[in-house]
Structure formats: C-alpha cells, structure tokens
Amino acid sequence: MMLRLTLRSLAAHRLRLLLTAVSVVLGVAFVAGTLIFTDTMDGQAGDIAGHLGRNVAVEVRAKDPGGRTKGVSVPVPESVLDGVRGVAGVREPVGVVTGYAALVGKDGTAVAAQGAQNPGSVSQTGGNWIPGGDHPLKTGRAPNGPAEMVVDEATAKRGGFRTGDEATVRFKGADRPMRIVGLVGSGDLAGRTLTLFDTPTAQRLLLRPGDFTAVRMASDGVSESVLRGRVAAVLPGRLEAITGTQLRTELRNDLATLSYVGGFLTAFALISVFVGAFVIFNTFSMLVAQRTRELALLRALGASNKQVSRAVLGEAFAVGVVGSTLGLAAGTGMAAFLQVILNGGATSAPAFSGTAVAASYVVGTTATVVSAYVPARRAARIPPIAALRDDVAPPQRALGRRVVTGTVLTALGGLAVLAGQLGAGLMAKALVGLGATLVFLGVTALSPVISGPVIELLGKGFPRWFGTPGLLARRNAQRSPRRTAATAGALMVGLALVGTVNVLGASMKASVSRQIESSFVDDYFVLPVRGSSIDADAIRRAASTPGIERTTPTYTGTVDLNGSRLEYSAGDLPTIMAPVAHRMAAGDLNAGTDGVLVESDVASAHHWKVGTILSARFPDGGGQDVRVAGIYPLVGLGNVMLPESLYKAHTPLPAAHSLSLKVRTADAATLRALRRSLAGYPDLGIYDRSGWKKEKVQSLDQMTTQITLLLALSVVIAAIGVANTLALSVFERTRELGLLRAVGVDRGQLRRMIRLESILIALFGAVLGLLIGLGFGIALQHAMAGLGFDVLVVPVVPLALCAVLAGVIGVAAAVWPARRAGRMDVLTAIAHE
C-alpha cells in the first residue's frame, strides 16, 4: 500500500521529482565524470606503459638520466652490448637510440603530435627500429639504409604521407630527405611523434656512431632482479642497470603527466559528493516541509510513524536510483569535456570501470537516502492534527549546536594553519591543509548562523535601490537560514577553491617573474624543447653569429659530494652568478678549476664552509676532490654550482640545458642572424627577456586556467542548485506570491524580487568562499615561501570579477523560477493549498 502511495506520489508531482532528480544527477555527474576521466587517463598511461618495454628484463643506461639532458650527455658505448652478451641469462640484448627527429610536413613545419597543447610539451622523437621491439610494423617493411624510415600512423596521416612517399626529416643540424617504407601504430604515443631508422642511421643522425642511449635485454628465465645484479657487475662505473619493472614504472610516470590533475580531481570528486549531498538534503527538506499536510493526513488516516518515514525514504531511493543513472550518463559527457580542457581534445573513448559505475550509484543513492532520512524522521513526527490546520511547519532545530561546533572547528583550523606557518617542510604543509579543511567545515557549520547578518549587510541598499521587491528579496533570503546556507554552500566550496588557486597562481607568477628579472643577465636565452638539449655544435654556431658578444651555456647534472647526491648547474660562474654576486653568504665566485659553489642551506645542513674539501664522484665514474669556494643564498639555482671546466672534464658529451647570449646591439638584424645560425636546430627556442618571461608565465597561467575551468563546473552545479532552491521556494510561496500580485505587485516586480533573492544567496556563497580562498591562498603561499614562492600577490581584479560573476550566476539561476512566478495566475495562487 505504502509502495503504491510512494509511486503515485512520485508520478503526481513531476516537477518536484524533476527538481530533486536534478540535484542528484548533478552530484553524481560530477563524481562519475571525475572518475571516468581519471580512469580514461590512467587507462591511456597504463596501456602504453604495459606495452612499452614489455619484453625488457633489464636496461642499462647512464646513472641518473633523470635530469634535463636525459640520456644524452652520457651514452652507452657499443662495447656494453658485447659485454652483456656474455652474462648468463641475458637474451637478445639490443641497443636503443633515441633523439630529436621531426617529420616535416608539406607546409615546411614539423608535424605536430596529437593532443599537443603547446610546442614545449611535445616531443618529436626519433629512434632506431628494433625487430620485436616496442613498435611493431603495421604496414610496409623495416627501414634499411641511410635514407629509409618508418613513421607512426597518426603522424603520417596528419602530414599527408603514405608508405613509399619521400619526406623531409628535421634533425638537429640538418634536414634530410628520407623514404617512408613502413608505418607503426600510434595508439601509445600520448603526444609524441615517432620516426624510426635502422640502428646505424639512428646512431649517426641522433647520437654518435658507436653509442646507444640505452641497452635493453630480455631474460631467458632468470628473474629481473637477479639478472639486474649480474649485468650491473660487468658495467663501467658511470652506467647503471635497472629492472624492466622499474623501467615500465618510469615510462608510465613519464606519460602520466596528468597525475597532478588526477589527484586534484579525486579530491574534487569528494568535494562534489559533499556539495551534491548538500543540494540533495536541501531539496528533500523542502519537499517534506511542503508535504506536511499530505503526510499528516496519512497519519490521521492511520498510517504509522514508520510507514510515513518509509514512504519518504522509498521515494528518496527511487529518485536516487533514477538520478544516479542519469548522472552517470551526464558524467560521461563531462569526462569528455574534461578531456577537452585538460588534454587538448578528446583523444580516447571514455573508460568505464566498475568503480566509476558503483561509486555513482552508491553516492547517488546513499546521499539521497541519507539526505532524506532526517526530513523523513521529521515528517513522521508530524502530528496528525497538522493535516487539519493551515500553517504548520515542521519544527526547526535551534542553531545553538551549530554555533558551538562551527566556532570550535573554525578556531582549531585557524590554529592549525597558523602553526603550519611556523613550521617547515611537509609537516607544515600538512598542517595548513588540515587547518584549511577544519576552517572549511567550521564555516559550513556556521554559515546558517551568519547568513542573516551577512545578507542584511549585502542587501543593505536593496530596499533603497530596488524598492519593495528589494526589501522582500532580502527578507526572503534571510527567511530560512539553513536553506540559504546550504544553497550558498555549494557555491562557497567552488569559489573557495577558485580563490585559493588564483592567489597561488598569481603569487607563483610574480615570484617566477621576479626570479627571471634577477637571473636573466643577458639579452637572449636559448632553450631546447622538453627532452632535448643544446649540443656543442649549436653552442659554437650561436657564438660565431655576427653581433653576439658573449655566449654562456649552462649545464645541469648530478654529482655525489661526500656521498650526498646533489643536483648541480655548471657554466661560467662569474657570468651566471652575477645577479647574486653581492649577496654571497661567504666566499666568492672565483672557483678556479676545482672549486664549487654551494647553496647556503645545503652548506649548513652538511656543515660545509668555504675551504672545506669534498670528495666528488661524477656519473661518468670519475672522481676528484673539490673545494668549497663560495656559499650563495637560496635563489632557485640548484644545490651546487660547478665551473664549466670541471663539468667538461667529467662529461663525455657535453649538452647544455640553456644558453645565455649577450649582444653588441640588440636589434632585429642580430636576432635574424641568430635565428639563421640556429635554423638547423628546430628544437631550440630563442627568447628575449620578455619572451622568456612570457613562456614561463604562460605555463602557470595555463595551469591556473585549467583548474579554474574545472572549478567552473562546480560553480555551474551550484548555480543549478540555487535555481532548484528558488524554484521550490517559489512553489512553496505560491499563495504569498498570489497575495503580492493581488495587492498590486506587477510581474516585473515579482521577477525582480526573485532575481534579487537569488543574487543575495549567490553573493553570500561567493563572499564566504572567496574570503576562505583568500585566506587559504595566503597561508599556502607563506608555507611555500621557502620553495621560491616568496612574493604574495592577491589578484584583486580576478577575485572581484568572481564576485561579480556570482551575481550573474544568481541572475541566471533565477531566470526560470522568476518566470514561473511571473506566469502564476493570481486567483489560482491565492487559492493554492
């Protein structure tokens, strides 16, 4: 009987059902969208990693190739290949060559990779084609000889090439005509283009004859770790052996460039569940309040407490299941949208994992049923007599407990944030994070309590500016603090994050700009694309360009000093370090040939002083004693600075990670000449000071924009939540609206009243959110000041814009409810039960 009633009730109130379902759909869509997106990205990375290097048991490579000049400065000589052949258990060892090679399209520019967002994040990779290796042929045959290659399918297609075509390939130093003799699959490239040659050709064009980037081998049954040990034993000191498992993990991590986004999204999914539950709870509370009479009538007719609450819960369950299903569908669409904004285009079909589907249903249904539980219990307590009276509202719990809980949580959170400021390191950051969460929960608990006064303040001018509708709007927004707070809460979450991200983004930008100002000593800067480096020939060409007065390369790498592995930069120290010369903590810049400069906190951590003699070991296996010549302050330059001569003495194939150029006269002619001399190096970018700053700042801007866009989605959900609340309020206040119309309020004034109420609710959420975000942003910037983010910038204009946008959202959210209210027939409204 009660089931039939539940179903009837659902069918009879389609609008009500729709509004409730919308809130569930939105909440679930967010969770599902996030999970599906993460799964899809993970799947991509996982597929590739599972595929790449799948037969490799052990790889031999230069020690620590993780630096910016990856695997180039220290190659693996061919002799290693012969050496490991003698090791028991090694099967089919092959030399691998990788380097820069770009297929030149018919328009004369390098063919870009799929999903490429900016040139800096793409690698145009060349290599040697290995039978049975990572890239099996799809069509054609293996490359053979100096003028043949195979290309990946997608790149060939984008360039308009087919097997048998002649194409130009751009290597460092020169363009060469090559014939495409086959195609390999592209499914696993994730933003790379691939051109493969036979091994001697690859060595000659990409590396150096007789050298490999790495040597890989399979095992004939011996476990990876045992084999690794045996191989390591026969290697020269500058090389290391890693297991295939480690290699695959590294490849996977390399590919999972979106992992930071993944973590962020997961956190975000949790937040969206929270927000979704808010909206659902709110909606159900309102619905039950509206149905007081109906439920009381049931009670009067003899339905038990339990039956009434079961009816409400049953309704919630049905809505939850339907909403979850629709939410899952909407989430799929959202995942595609996420791919577009985060990945530069939908590159693969959405991956449905069981987790995503299960989570959607669990979240949607549980949140709905739990949200309905409190109102259901409230409904069951409605006295039967209420059915006969006109205006009963279910009793509202006092807000006293909220005040206590909220205040305690906020205070604890504030203390934790402050404590985080005093400490340092991971612990401090964790404290700030914990504090932030506590403050957030505290403010959420407090928001119904403060909504009254805050809205009073925000809407202070409303009666004067907008007349009676303004006054009524303000009073209506203050009418049900819980409802207002819960509705605004969704917006608050989104805008708090927007605030945090924008404060951090602006501060990082300012910090980076300042660093560039103080470290950019010359006129031009040459920088390779990711994964590439500047070889000696390119440095020579730049230096011999007419108009160039001085060329200063900077190299990077790692060195063991007294057993501690440290990242170093190397180059002409007096030039590179000129901006900090006057700020040296001790010693000076004249390191000679065996001196090194050490960063102050590294020096103090090891108790090194000027004059301390350290034992240095380099990746090439060589070692020598070095002397601490100077100690420099924290400026983001790295742990240690080496003189160029020391670097060159221990690096077989020097490759710079940047080039600083000083010119006689900075004019267009010099820049043109420079571009001409480096024309053979398509992987090198030439920047002037402002261009370089722009490059750096752009990537930060991009990150801020991406995250803000993501958060915009949550703001959209919140906006729909506002619309939902308003629509229900309008429904609830039908008679009152009818009365207003009867005494002479016209449609326009009624619509304005609802619009203004919406704006007030939205502004309330926005103001709270932005204030919290501002606080978090400042706290996080402080906590990270030691990492180089030492400039605090509060982006006033963007934040103010957010507040204005919140007002616009309010207007948008009110469109439909206002129209409904305006269209209401006066007489029916007055007679409305």
Partner 1 sequence: MTRELRPAPAVDASNVVARATALCKSYGVGEARVVALDRVDVAVRAGELTAIMGPSGSGKSTLMHCLAGLDSADGGEIWIGDTEITALDDRELTRLRRDRIGFVFQAFNLVPTLTALENITLPLDIAGRRPEPGWFTRVVDAVGLGDRLGHRPSELSGGQQQRVACARALVARPRIVFADEPTGNLDSRAGAEVLDLMRLGVDTFGQTIVMVTHDPVAASYADRVLFLADGRVVEEMADPSAEKVLERMKRAEGAR
Binding residues vs partner 1 (CB under 8 A): 390, 467-468, 471-472, 475-476, 478-479, 735-736, 739-747, 749, 826-827, 830
- For every residue of 640-689, which 3-state class applies, written as one string? EEEEHHHHHHCCCCCEECEEEEEECCCCHHHHHHHHHHCCCCCCEEEEEH
Distance in Å, CB of 747 to partner 1, minimum: 7
How far does CA 362 lie from the centroid of its chain? Answer: 26
Distance in Å, CB of 351 to partner 1, minimum: 51
Distance in Å, CB of 272 to partner 1, minimum: 33
Going by C-alpha positions, the residue among 455, 487, 474 that lies closest to residue 722 is 487
Beta strands per DSSP E along 520-563? 524-528, 534-535, 548-561
- Give the residue with the Cβ less far from partner 1, 452 or 788: 452
Other CB atoms within 10 Å distance of the CB of residue 157: 15
Q: Which amino acid is at 331?
A: G
- Give the residue with the Cβ less far from partner 1, 537 or 746: 746
- Give the residue with the Cβ less far from partner 1, 370 or 739: 739
- Give the residue with the Cβ less far from partner 1, 223 or 468: 468
Distance in Å, CB of 752 to partner 1, minimum: 11
Phi-psi region of 636 (alpha: psi -120 to 50; beta: other; left: phi over 0): left
- Give the residue with the Cβ less far from partner 1, 252 or 474: 474
* Helix or strand (DSSP H, E) at 157: helix 153-159
Distance in Å, CB of 390 to partner 1, minimum: 6
- Give the residue with the Cβ less far from partner 1, 135 or 820: 820
- Give the residue with the Cβ less far from partner 1, 378 or 741: 741
Six-digit token pair at 778? 């400042």
- Give the residue with the Cβ less far from partner 1, 114 or 478: 478
- Give the residue with the Cβ less far from partner 1, 517 or 746: 746
Distance in Å, CB of 764 to partner 1, minimum: 17
Question: Taking a C-beta distance cutoff of 8 angstroms, is the pair 198, 165 a contact?
Answer: no
Burial 246-273 (b: 16+ CB within 10 A, else e): bbbebbbeebbebeebbebbeebbebbb
Question: Taking a C-beta distance cutoff of 8 angstroms, is the pair 832, 787 a contact?
Answer: no
- Give the residue with the Cβ less far from partner 1, 693 or 752: 752
Query: What is the spatial distance between Cα 503 and Cα 509, in angstroms, rounded to a whole number?
Result: 10
Going by C-alpha positions, the residue among 473, 351, 344 that lies closest to residue 759 is 473
Distance in Å, CB of 287 to partner 1, minimum: 20
Per-position DSSP letters for 273-285, written without gaps between them? HHHHHHHHHHHHH
- Give the residue with the Cβ less far from partner 1, 479 or 565: 479
Question: Taking a C-beta distance cutoff of 8 angstroms, is the pair 35, 353 a contact?
Answer: yes
Distance in Å, CB of 469 to partner 1, minimum: 8
- Give the residue with the Cβ less far from partner 1, 319 or 745: 745
- For every residue of 316-327, which 3-state class applies, written as one string? HHHHHHHHHHHH
Query: What is the spatial distance between Cα 76 and Cα 214, in angstroms, rounded to a whole number?
Result: 6
CA 777 → CA 51, 145, 699, 790, 828, distances in Å? 41, 58, 19, 13, 52
Query: What is the spatial distance between Cα 769 and Cα 487, in angstroms, rounded to a whole number?
Result: 13
Distance in Å, CB of 735 to partner 1, minimum: 5
Distance in Å, CB of 711 to partner 1, minimum: 34
Is 531 in a helix, a strand, or coil?
A: coil
- Give the residue with the Cβ less far from partner 1, 463 or 680: 463
Six-digit token pair at 506? 């602006």
Distance in Å, CB of 484 to partner 1, minimum: 13
Residues facing residue 90 across a β-bridge: 219
Question: Taking a C-beta distance cutoff of 8 angstroms, is the pair 674, 548 a contact?
Answer: yes
How far does CA 209 lie from the centroid of its chain? Answer: 41
Distance in Å, CB of 833 to partner 1, minimum: 11
Distance in Å, CB of 753 to partner 1, minimum: 11
